[in-house]
């Protein structure tokens, strides 16, 4: 199935899978449009969305370059919502949320269209102030060459987003690489599990098998395979996202721990 301009086939899958699309407002330099003659004639929603930062702006920026950027804002917002003063913990939870959205949108397109839109970080806008799930907008729907093969998804999500995002979070907040790749693997397994549930509920047996095979192939990627072990739809990670350190928090269903650690909290960071 060809990608439609609204990616409407993702909507029945639920909020984590939906990828909003919009046409850039006239005058957006990224769209190559001239400045509008009458700014009042602009669609207010489009103007608001055009003001959102691109995901590319969240990657690779050092604290010395900016006083406050979109990634810093997101981590601080997550920290405030979780009532934690440990920014390392908030950075991990923020990372997990964004990874879940990216994997869900990519896997959803693979399942529903058999194709993947270009998810270049310069094409995706991010409302970092939104509640979960992270609010993402794709400024242009254009299909990548070929089908939705594991290598295509890995290039788009792992190398296009999770690798530069992880490098930035490690440099800025000291979050361990093993933890972040565990987050990425967990998010992938969770998205695949929800997709399998959707396909099974609709009697789409072939889709269940295809989604599972795609997830297994992606989890075998060199950067993801150490993140955990998947048995059928179940997944057990080898690291902890640190949610247990949040006031009132605990351990997640796929955590490496069976109960929250009581000592050596930093041992969980790898």
pLDDT tens, the chain, 270 aa long: 889 999 999 999 988 999 999 755 454 444 433 333 433 334 444 445 667 889 998 886 544 444 458 899 999 999 999 999 999 999 999 999 999 999 999 999 999 999 999 999 999 999 988 887 888 999 999 999 988 999 999 999 999 999 999 999 999 999 999 999 999 999 999 999 999 999 999 999 989 999 999 999 999 999 999 999 988 888 999 999 999 999 999 989 888 988 888 744 444 444
Answer whether the bond into residue 133 is a cis peptide, omega within 30°: yes
pLDDT of residue 131: 83
Collect all residues with Cβ–Cβ distance below 8 Å to 84 and sequence separation of at least 6: 90, 245, 246, 247
CA–CA separation, 208 and 194 (whole Å): 10
**Domain locations in the chain as residue ranges:** 8-37+44-269
- Taking the C-alpha atoms of residue 78 and residue 15, their distance in angstroms, rounded to an integer, is 19
Residue 67 has a pLDDT of 43
pLDDT score for 236: 94
Q: In angstroms, rounded to a whole number, what is the distance separating the alpha carbons of residues 218 and 188?
A: 8
Helices and strands counted in the chain (H then E): 7, 5
Q: Which residue has the tokens 């109960």?
A: 259
């Amino acid at each position: 199935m060809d990608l439609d301009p609204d990616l409407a086939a993702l909507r029945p899958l639920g909020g984590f899978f939906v990828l909003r699309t919009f046409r850039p407002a006239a005058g957006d330099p990224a769209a190559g449009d001239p400045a509008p003659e009458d700014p009042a004639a602009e669609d207010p929603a489009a103007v608001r969305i055009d003001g959102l930062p691109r995901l590319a702006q969240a990657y690779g920026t050092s604290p010395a370059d900016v006083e406050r950027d979109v990634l810093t804002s997101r981590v601080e917002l997550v920290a405030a919502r979780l009532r934690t003063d440990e920014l390392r913990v908030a950075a991990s939870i923020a990372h997990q949320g964004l990874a879940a959205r990216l994997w869900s949108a990519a896997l959803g397109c693979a399942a529903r269209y058999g194709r993947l839109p270009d998810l270049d970080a310069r094409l995706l806008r991010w409302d970092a102030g939104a509640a979960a799930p992270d609010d993402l907008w794709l400024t242009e729907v254009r299909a990548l060459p070929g089908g939705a093969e594991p290598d295509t998804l890995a290039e788009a999500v792992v190398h296009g987003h999770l690798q530069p995002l992880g490098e930035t979070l490690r440099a800025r907040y000291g979050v361990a690489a093993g933890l972040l790749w565990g987050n990425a693997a967990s998010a992938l397994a969770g998205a695949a599990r929800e997709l399998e549930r959707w396909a099974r509920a609709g009697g789409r047996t072939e889709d269940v098998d295809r989604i599972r095979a795609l997830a297994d192939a992606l989890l075998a990627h060199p950067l993801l395979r150490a993140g955990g072990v998947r048995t059928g739809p179940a997944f057990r990670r080898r690291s902890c996202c640190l949610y247990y350190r949040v006031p009132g928090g605990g351990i997640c269903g796929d955590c490496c721990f069976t109960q929250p650690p009581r000592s050596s909290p930093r041992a969980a960071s790898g």
